[in-house]
Amino acid sequence: MGCKATIRTRTSFLRQELILRSSHSGYYCPKKTRYAEQFPCPPGTYSEVSGATDISTCLPCPPGRFCSRPGLVEPEGYCAPGWFCPAGSVSNKPAHLSDLPGRTNSSSVSLNGGMCPAGAFCPEGSPYPVPCTPGKYCASRELSAESGRCEAGFYCTRGSSVPNPQSSEAGDVCPPGHFCEAGTSTPSPCPPGTYMPRPSARSSQDCLPCTAGYYCPHWGSVEPADRCSDGWFCPAGTVHPQSPENLCPVGHYCPAGSSEPMTCPVGYYQEVAGQSQCQVCPAGRYCGPGEDLDGVERGVYMPRDCPAGYYCVQGTEFGQQHPCPAGTYSDRTGLISSAGCSPCPGGWFCAQLGTAATLSDCSPDSAGLSVVLSVLRVWKE
């Protein structure tokens, strides 16, 4: 009895020692294992554990790595550039059905890995395709980096396979009201004061200055917002319809849509800034051209009194436009009609038009000639 027990105990010990010795890393030894390398971890897996008794200790090869041989203790290497390797890959260039000769390229991405598709890139060790960076494009398969920047006049969102996408999820032509420089991922709006009615603008210089007489207050304008307000003027590139620096000045008028102030014509005036029309010159005054205000030539901003010897009806353009007729005179300013001119008194004569005062007598020694001692006229300005 004791001898048999001793033999049985020694046999069990030797069997356990053999199994433990054979169960090294990369392999597992379940019950009834006959030799050390009978059960290797299969391709696509590896194991760093020694003494494993079942396949559950064999781990899938990590994403971006590959395990091509059985019985590996660690992953063999990294996925090749231009390819992607998900967990459990058995090759650094996993074959996808569409990658095989004679097969049509497919836009689908295999769960088992494969060649990097167009519109994506795969650096070395990629676990999955990386969609092409916004603003760039990836033109072909098996790329390890982007092909280049998106063309000016277009924008490329994530995953573009062409530099000039049109009407796709990966980008499009730059829309009106915007500009797209090379490498654009999101169109940039034209700034206030500009607009862009057409697509494909390539830079901010392509944005057009707002049309003179109009204003463009918004970002990304396709057309001017509206005409300039009454009493204001809007040069090209105007942002707001009532900018303080664009208030219509005195002596001028600015109807809606004015690109610059317009000078009040002769016979009219405007003494108030910010007006859309000029006022007719009142009777008894004149409104001539070439007024000067603060050293700047401007339109008429203040009517002037009609000079002596003349009268000024409504809308008179200059002081000497309407002289008192011959045989009359006036030494007063501001006459509104010829009725204000006085007849020349007895013993005197008024031969000239526009006489302000006369001292021409009718004495015999004048031999019938008039001796004009003084004729006062209003000087021209």
Model confidence at 371: pLDDT above 80: no
What are 337-349's pLDDT values in tens digits?
Answer: 989 888 888 777 7
Separation CA 157–CA 74 (nearest Å): 39
Percent of the chain residues past pLDDT 70, beyond the cut: 81
* Residue 147: pLDDT band with limits 50, 70, 90: very high
Q: Is position 15 within any domain? A: no
Q: pLDDT averaged over the chain? A: 83
Backbone angles phi, psi at 57, to 5 degrees: -85, -10
What are 77-89's pLDDT values in tens digits?
Answer: 999 999 999 999 9
The two tokens of residue 304 are 């002037």
**Residue ranges making up the domain that contains 324:** 320-381
Q: Is position 107 within any domain? A: no
Backbone angles phi, psi at 340, to 5 degrees: -80, -10
Question: Of 332, 308, 312, 334, nearest to 322 (Cα)?
Answer: 312
**Mean pLDDT value across residues 106-123:** 77
Q: Is position 352 within any domain? A: yes
370 versus 266: which is more confidently predicted?
266
What are 7-36's pLDDT values in tens digits?
Answer: 444 545 444 544 444 457 889 988 888 888
Q: Is position 375 within any domain? A: yes
pLDDT of residue 357: 67
pLDDT of residue 380: 35
144 versus 7: which is more confidently predicted?
144
* Residue 95: pLDDT band with limits 50, 70, 90: confident
Q: Is position 355 within any domain? A: yes
* Residue 148: pLDDT band with limits 50, 70, 90: very high
Q: Is position 378 within any domain? A: yes
* Residue 356: pLDDT band with limits 50, 70, 90: confident
Q: Is position 199 within any domain? A: no
303 versus 6: which is more confidently predicted?
303
* Residue 135: pLDDT band with limits 50, 70, 90: very high
pLDDT of residue 352: 81
The two tokens of residue 82 are 């231009």
Highest mean pLDDT out of 92-101, 279-288, 360-369: 279-288
Model confidence at 257: pLDDT above 70: yes
Model confidence at 101: pLDDT above 50: no
**Mean pLDDT value across residues 219-245:** 96
Separation CA 309–CA 297 (nearest Å): 28
Model confidence at 295: pLDDT above 70: no
* Residue 297: pLDDT band with limits 50, 70, 90: low
Model confidence at 120: pLDDT above 90: yes
Separation CA 66–CA 95 (nearest Å): 13
Q: What is the 3-state secondary structure (H, E, C) of the chain?
A: CHHHHHHHHHHHHHHHHHHHHHCCCCECCCCCCCCCCCCECCCCEECCCCCCCCHHHCEECCCCEECCCCCCCCCCEECCCCEECCCCCCCCCCCCHHHCCCCCCCCCCCCCCEECCCCEECCCCCCCCEECCCCEECCCCCCCCCCEECCCCEEECCCCCCCCCCCECCEEECCCCEECCCCCCCCEECCCCEECCCCCCCCHHHCEECCCCEECCCCCCCCCCEECCCCECCCCCCCCCCCHHHECCCCEECCCCCCCCEECCCCEECCCCCCCCCEECCCCEECCCCEEECCEEECCCCCEECCCCEECCCCCCCCCCCECCCCEECCCCCECCHHHCEECCCCECCCCCCCCCCCCECCHHHCCCCCCCCCCCCCCC
**Mean pLDDT value across residues 59-78:** 93
Model confidence at 63: pLDDT above 50: yes
* Residue 330: pLDDT band with limits 50, 70, 90: confident
Judge contact between 263 and 297, C-beta under 8 A: no
Q: Is position 91 within any domain? A: no
Provide the domain count of the chain: 1
29 versus 291: which is more confidently predicted?
29
**Mean pLDDT value across residues 271-292:** 87
